[in-house]
Structure 1
């Protein structure tokens, strides 16, 4: 039977922290060693680290055995600290930029990823340009510091508008002028549009729109109301909702773009608390605390399935998060945390189509099952903001 194994690679301090699940007799008596880069319990191999490119130093492992006694047929966790070689590199926490202007400048078609419905006019020759950070306007005071009066720059700092025959490329979306969109290719989300208060705030509003063929959400449009009708002024197509033809080398998923959003917001706003909210329903799907934005995990799937006979070892680069699934918001604990986080001005709201919010929560919940049961929840008395939060991961490519 495969010995369940889970570990986190802490490259910044040169340590691999691991947990094994072995029977009580082995936990009490067996010697845990490393030979030829293989972790052994007695004479039984657990992990060959060479298979995943991890190099261990020739230093005896530090083993923490359980204090309480168990019967011989019971399985108990053992914590092991292994030393990495000094050659192990520390990866940059920055995320990869998906589909920048230089990669899409030769594109011919943009389609709905769900149904392949064509979205843009093919007669136009687009000029592709990268947009600055989504938070560029917030940082303008840092850029312009030499003027005697702060208001002098305001007349020049105008919003970046969509332009005909230009594909303006943001980190997670394409900004397109409505003249370049095929007639009736997209349709405004009517339930959302019906709730807009046109007499409040700015004259134009950003409202979700869907693919007219399949009804799948693909972006949001800047609309204004004229003579009781709304007119599209600009369109943002979410990169994770569209496909580019000819096909590019890599087709990033929603999770890839979520990582970009999370890291950018964390760096710009200096926050680690995020509220994941649906654009369509305004429902809060999860509360998320960014615990470590660059972690490497090495594991087999023994903790996921105790009867697992597959000894395959996996290595993944992830972000470690604490999260609370708020799908069932009638729970008293969930309600208490929603109220607390709702009052926290440092918590950042990340809005996505509801279907993608559900996909995200499901993916994170699945990663929790890879952990030993003792590591799946966070209940430290000093961390009241994350009491009974689960521990999970968001994969980074």
Structure 2
């Protein structure tokens, strides 16, 4: 087929469950140029007077060229075209991003993800156990006809335990391992008296800060238990060398897999991201969790339409990534607009 456009970039989103794909050719330059698009079962080719771009598909994906339909130009985006595919289901077993390295085998080392600083060295994990959901206490009250038997028995890990929540690890820190030292921080508290005045009273600071880069890694829950956030900590077997992953790539992988796991386990697709103060910063609506994104990057001067994938793609090659697609709405002043957002997933 032929169309008037000057795409420098090819983007293909394959839906495994629907056996369909959306092809997007990047925003054309002003005036456009002749373009020939050729589809084959295992490849896609775009020819322009400036050159030829060919996109090779993964072995598990095959296009059905005769099914092409819905060609249209979307201003600000480019040419859109839908086509049927024959895509094998992703039968790779989903390994939890929270415990993929926290297996109860051998010794593990906890690292700060931002700078690679060792947080806990050579910890023997005998038990790696998932925690119940956040509202499990309320459910117990509904199930029991007598007072909650677990009210006075909080779930705290023992010396060689690692408990895993939706967004954190709980670890019991022994005195001979690195552990945070709470600092005294002045806070204002109201003193009831005939004179309305404020008085400084010391309060323990429970923040756990990286010694090297000063990033907040978590918080102390008790004298022995520490909570580490999954976006700040990497756990690796002690005998394995640690390599720093780009920050934005690591965070998007963690969030993407968290959405996949929670949507599968709890049959939900709406989420919120909150700060340490409980304030909601962003609303997420999971659209697709079965997407395979295939993209061929064109000229480095081209407009980047999918910036969140830039960290994982090489400028001189085409790449395929399992991804989730979400609709998000920032809860920040003057930014309450809907956006589409793709996140690379680590389910492979």
TM-score range (shorter-chain normalised) is 0.5 to 0.7
- 1:101 touches 1:128 (CA, 8 Å); kept in 2? no
Structure 1 pair 247–76 and aligned structure 2 pair: CA distance change class (3 A): closer
Distance in structure 2 (CA, Å) of the matches to 1:311 and 1:90: 28
Aligned to 1:365: none
- 2:218 touches 2:227 (CA, 8 Å); kept in 1? yes
Query: Residue 172 of structure 2: which of 169, 177, 180 is its match?
Result: 177
Distance in structure 2 (CA, Å) of the matches to 1:79 and 1:39: 14
What secondary structure does 1:175 align onto? strand
Structure 1 pair 305–289 and aligned structure 2 pair: CA distance change class (3 A): farther
Higher percent of residues as helix: 1
Query: Residue 258 of structure 2: which of 261, 270, 275 is its match?
Result: 261
Query: Residue 227 of structure 2: which of 217, 227, 236 is its match?
Result: 236
Between Structure 1 and Structure 2, how many residues are aligned?
304
- 2:116 touches 2:242 (CA, 8 Å); kept in 1? no
Question: Does residue 1:291 correspond to 2:287, yes or no?
Answer: yes
What secondary structure does 1:131 align onto? strand
Query: 1:136 offset after TM fit, Å?
Result: 7.3
Question: Does residue 1:208 correspond to 2:207, yes or no?
Answer: yes
Query: 1:160 offset after TM fit, Å?
Result: 1.7
Give 4+ residue runs of structure 1 displaced > 6 Å after superposition. Answer: 248-252
Aligned to 1:391: 340
Unaligned segments of structure 2, at least 5 residues: 1-5, 191-203, 305-314
Distance in structure 2 (CA, Å) of the matches to 1:105 and 1:209: 26
Aligned to 1:343: none
Query: Residue 25 of structure 2: which of 20, 25, 43 is its match?
Result: 20
Query: 1:318 offset after TM fit, Å?
Result: 1.0
- 2:41 touches 2:62 (CA, 8 Å); kept in 1? no
Query: Residue 240 of structure 2: which of 227, 243, 247 is its match?
Result: 247
Structure 1 pair 141–296 and aligned structure 2 pair: CA distance change class (3 A): same
Aligned to 1:346: none
What secondary structure does 1:48 align onto? strand
Distance in structure 2 (CA, Å) of the matches to 1:19 and 1:187: 53
Aligned to 1:383: none
Distance in structure 2 (CA, Å) of the matches to 1:78 and 1:101: 42
Distance in structure 2 (CA, Å) of the matches to 1:67 and 1:257: 32
Higher percent of residues as strand: 2
- 1:210 touches 1:217 (CA, 8 Å); kept in 2? yes
Query: 1:218 offset after TM fit, Å?
Result: 1.8
Query: 1:391 offset after TM fit, Å?
Result: 1.0
Distance in structure 1 (CA, Å) of the matches to 2:205 and 2:288: 33
Structure 1 pair 66–282 and aligned structure 2 pair: CA distance change class (3 A): closer
Distance in structure 1 (CA, Å) of the matches to 2:100 and 2:294: 31
Unaligned segments of structure 1, at least 5 residues: 69-74, 198-204, 224-231, 338-387
Query: 1:292 offset after TM fit, Å?
Result: 1.7
Distance in structure 1 (CA, Å) of the matches to 2:23 and 2:259: 27
Query: 1:263 offset after TM fit, Å?
Result: 3.5
Structure 1 pair 51–10 and aligned structure 2 pair: CA distance change class (3 A): closer
Matches within 5 A, 1:365-380: none
Aligned to 1:277: 274
Question: Does residue 1:187 correspond to 2:185, yes or no?
Answer: no
What secondary structure does 1:257 align onto? helix
- 1:113 touches 1:243 (CA, 8 Å); kept in 2? no
